[in-house]
Structure 1
Amino acid sequence: MLKAVIALPGARRRKSEDAPPPGAPLWMTTYGDLITQTLIFFVLLFALSNVDAKKFDLAITSVQGSLGILEGGKSLIEGEFVEEGLAGENLFTGEQQEEKELKELGDTILEIVKRSGYEGVTVSIDERGLAVRFMEGVLFDSGKADLKSEAIRLLDKIAPVLKQSRRPIRVEGHTDNVPIHTREFPTNWELSTARAVSVLRYLVENHGIPPRMISAAGYGEYHPIAPNDTDQNRSRNRRVEIIILSSSLMTQEPK
């Protein structure tokens, strides 16, 4: 005896509607995204806690191009790229090292001057390099460009330090603004230049400083260090300076 099984249409529909969709539940996907983002957040916090702020800014700048900022456009962070930033750090380190070397040279020269009992000599570092300043009367008599005997003894003590530095040297002559009218020196230009050349020649001819490493300049009255309004200030302006040049000026010296 055959039995007919009649399937009701509504029963199959209910079964398919009650069945869960294939794959992971939707709440698990959302939860997984939340956990991943939380992990990334704490990784970033850990990384940033160990990164120098300056280097981080440079790193951000270096990847701006890959984030859609066109080359040549303006960025939110002013500065150089990482490669250039590192080069700048190396340059800064080099400048610090050079300043340290110049300071050590200056301390050595100043100690020589003090031990020898000379007055009127100062040592300082400025944008030109290490400046050894000889005030009026230390090297020359008034209106003269011949080295005094005391000046020669002082230069004999300082010259080995200058030579040992192996750096370019510039000798500068300066005067006050009182005009000079002599047969030998018609103006302050000639006097200041002659004094600088006298020091240069002595260092080259008697201490073997290479001529290509030393130069002379006469500035007359036009580079004063004090106003020419009193006798004391004018005496400060009458000076000779031996400059051990910094690297920034070394590149400007003829080779």
Structure 2
Amino acid sequence: MGRKRGQEEAKTGAPEWMTTYGDMVTLLLCFFVLLFALSTIDAQKFRAIMQSFQGSLGVMKGGKTIENNLYIHEALEEEKTTKQLEELEDFKKLQEKIEAYLEQNGFQNEILVDLEPRGLLLRFKDNVLFDSGKADLKGNAGQTLLFLSDLLKQDEFANKYIRVEGHTDTDPIIRSQKYPTNWELSVARASNVVRFLIEEAGLQPDRLSASGYSQYHPIAPNDTDNNKSKNRRVDIVILRSDFVKSEPYY
């Protein structure tokens, strides 16, 4: 059938204005998706904070949060760092007090006081606490140990754990039935220091431990008499809280 003359041809498809409208809506959608993506982290933080409040106010048993959230963990790490700094300051003050006491009593060259990763180290050099080949405390050794124990009873150190370590050089024990090897001697020396701190100084037994390492933790090569005297020592370590938590027997 023929088309009438003058009749306009019908247009197919969407109106032209729909193309512009569709582009605009697409751009708006992308814009709001971008805003949502940028605000996702804040929303997570808000949810984490709310969950933390719920736990701390006793909504959940034991005061725990609903989940182990990354942002809560970061906040706890910041608090942990603050506590570590406070503990470090306490150790520095303790170190100053001990060093002042040692200088007043002429022991500054016999007892080393140093901060190390484990905590505060007191290193008693050769023959300060014991005579050669013996594990009985010398008469004047108790005075220094009593002074140390008085400091460790103060509030800021009352919960600190103390490790006593005995060390020897490589020279074998000669003519001793009581201490056949350096193992027995190093353990006996550490044990006697711990026993004194408990029975004479009054420290709580659960704060103390004794270890003997014989010749196997030297701080100098055992090649000269001077170096061997450095290795014959007793170390008292006042442990940092984080180090104690990593030790299974505390």
TM-score by length of 1: 0.68
Q: Is the 8 A contact 1:105 1:161 kept in 2?
A: no
> Counterparts of 1:208-223 in structure 2 under 5 Å?
208-223=202-217
2:224 corresponds, among 202, 222, 230, to 230
TM-score by length of 2: 0.69
2:128 corresponds, among 117, 133, 138, to 138
Q: Is the 8 A contact 1:146 1:198 kept in 2?
A: yes
Aligned to 1:112: 98
**Displacement, 1:205?**
0.8
Deviations 1:165-215, CA, capped at 9 Å, x for gaps: 212222111011111222432221222112111211111012221112212
| Residue correspondences, number | 218
Deviations 1:197-237, CA, capped at 9 Å, x for gaps: 12111110122211122121111111111211122221111
Q: Is the 8 A contact 1:179 1:187 kept in 2?
A: yes
Task: Give the distance between the partners of 2:70 and 2:31, measured in 1 at CA.
Answer: 34
**Between Structure 1 and Structure 2, whose CA radius of gyration is higher?**
1
Change (3 A) 1:208 1:13: farther
Aligned to 2:57: none
Change (3 A) 1:100 1:232: farther
2:23 corresponds, among 30, 33, 41, to 30
Task: Give the distance between the partners of 1:13 and 1:126, measured in 2 at CA.
Answer: 99
Task: Give the distance between the partners of 2:215 and 2:245, measured in 1 at CA.
Answer: 25
Change (3 A) 1:89 1:186: farther
Aligned to 2:111: 121
Further displaced range: 221-230 or 242-251: 242-251
Task: Give the distance between the partners of 1:213 and 1:136, measured in 2 at CA.
Answer: 25
Task: Give the distance between the partners of 1:187 and 1:179, measured in 2 at CA.
Answer: 7
Q: Name the % identity.
A: 35
List alignment gaps of at least 5 residues for structure 1: 1-7, 57-80
Change (3 A) 1:89 1:187: farther
Moved >6 Å (runs of 4+) = none
Task: Give the distance between the partners of 2:113 and 2:39, measured in 1 at CA.
Answer: 47
Pair 1:14-2:8 in alignment: yes
Change (3 A) 1:148 1:29: same
Task: Give the distance between the partners of 1:158 and 1:212, measured in 2 at CA.
Answer: 17
Q: Is the 8 A contact 1:109 1:158 kept in 2?
A: no
RMSD of aligned residue pairs (Cα, Å): 3.8
Q: Is the 8 A contact 1:171 1:241 kept in 2?
A: yes
> Counterparts of 1:1-255 in structure 2 under 5 Å?
10=4, 14=8, 16-17=10-11, 21=14, 25-38=18-31, 40-41=33-34, 43=35, 83=69, 86-87=72-73, 90-91=76-77, 93-94=79-80, 97-98=83-84, 100-102=86-88, 104-117=90-103, 118-119=107-108, 120-164=110-154, 165=157, 166-181=159-174, 182-246=176-240, 247-250=242-245, 252-254=247-249
Task: Give the distance between the partners of 2:199 and 2:248, measured in 1 at CA.
Answer: 21
